[in-house]
Amino acid sequence: MRLLADLQRAPDAEVPPTIAPTLPVTRARTFDTPEFAGMTFLEVETRSALNKVSGMPFGWSINPYRGCQHACSYCLARPTHEYLNLSPTTDFDRTVVVKTNVAEVLRGELARSRWKGEHVAMGTNTDPYQRAEGRYRLMPDIIRALAQSWTPFSILTKGTLITRDLPVLVEAAARVPVSASLTIGTLDRPTWRTAEPGTPSPRARLDAVRALNDAGIPTRVMLAPIMPGINDDPEQLTAVARAAVAAGATHVTPIPLHLRPGVKAAFWPWLEATHPELVATYTELYGPPAAGRKGRATLPEDIVEAMLRTVRDARDAAWAERGNRPPEGSWPDRARPGEHVTGHAGRPSTNPAEPPGAEPPVAGPPAEQLSII
């Protein structure tokens, strides 16, 4: 089996390497453009597109990419890179697996007689509109395949690239329920730059929220993750909530930082490097990273409640001022009690091949803590 070091020594390798026993790489590619500097894309031919998900508000997910150049410090998907023999810290945002045939495989799965057209969620593990999508353009065909098979779907992203596909989304929404969520945790530029260095700016994401809603795609804002001492200042939270309402967000959902063991191990070096003054606080709140499964994954409930209350109050005041509160009903309007998740927070697969029906749960938050779509 070839490991990352071999792959990086052999971009465009003729001999297909393997990053996991069931996930053969057809090509390892690098691109010369500045936006992909230092990146390696491992192109694979997946055997399955739909992942069965249990204990969630949706039954299925699709993840066209593994790894994410958005490089969020708190990303829940980082530990899933270990299943590929890749590092959750140094490789997760530099080595991205691309399922180049995902739409073709999806069409075959959707055509099966046993497919019942259940809701499919995208962006539950890694971001489908990360920068790589600008080059690989996997999403338009995925969206068309879902719509043509009468399959409702939702997309969670930080990528403003989603607006590229507005015509395709609008076309799909004429056949099936389609919705989107943009994650925006702060409007503060230094905080954004530090915590989510590969993402489009929060202002650009707000523009995407507006564009999607204006086009008739109901789009909410996930105010996530709320990190103690980093972006939990009430003024910051209020600013995000108000801007989200101004952008027409159908809902504004606050989600405090969730740090389960594997994520904590990846988050800690970032915290030590960028906010050394907060290490003691986080150690008290979540336990040290070495505490493993004995450490806390969630914040104490009183802290959580204060965060949620701030956002809800700001959001409700903004809706009252504008008179544009969306009708109750199709969406939950807040994270449920104990719902402390971040970013793309679906239950990651433990199987790199991700065959349908074979996405067993990994240790992590209870299912209700993951329902952010």
Residue ranges that bind ligand SF4, judged by CB under 6 A = 68, 70-72, 75, 77, 126-127, 130, 158, 343-344
CB-nearer residue toward ligand SF4: 147 or 271:
271
Angle 59-63-67 (CA atoms, 0-180°, nearest 5)? Answer: 135
Give the nearest distance from C-beta 103 to ligand SF4 in angstroms.
20
Give the nearest distance from C-beta 130 to ligand SF4 in angstroms.
6
Report the distance separating Cα 89 and Cα 79, nearest Å: 8
Backbone φ and ψ of 238, nearest 5°: -60, -40
CB-nearer residue toward ligand SF4: 158 or 242:
158
CB-nearer residue toward ligand SF4: 18 or 126:
126
Report the distance separating Cα 50 and Cα 61, nearest Å: 6
User: By the 8 A CB rule, do 79 and 262 touch?
Assistant: yes
Distances (CA, A) of 190 to 71, 197, 202, 204: 15, 10, 11, 15
CB-nearer residue toward ligand SF4: 130 or 349:
130
Give the nearest distance from C-beta 68 to ligand SF4 in angstroms.
3
CB-nearer residue toward ligand SF4: 125 or 250:
125
Give the nearest distance from C-beta 88 to ligand SF4 in angstroms.
11
Backbone φ and ψ of 40, nearest 5°: -120, 130
127 burial level (CB within 10 Å; 0-12, 13-18, 19+)? buried
Whether cis (ω within 30° of 0) applies to the bond prior to 79 is: no
Give the nearest distance from C-beta 73 to ligand SF4 in angstroms.
9
CB-nearer residue toward ligand SF4: 94 or 175:
94
Half-sphere exposure of 48 (CA within 13 A, CB side): 17
Question: Residue with CB nearest ligand SF4?
Answer: 343
Give the nearest distance from C-beta 159 to ligand SF4 in angstroms.
7
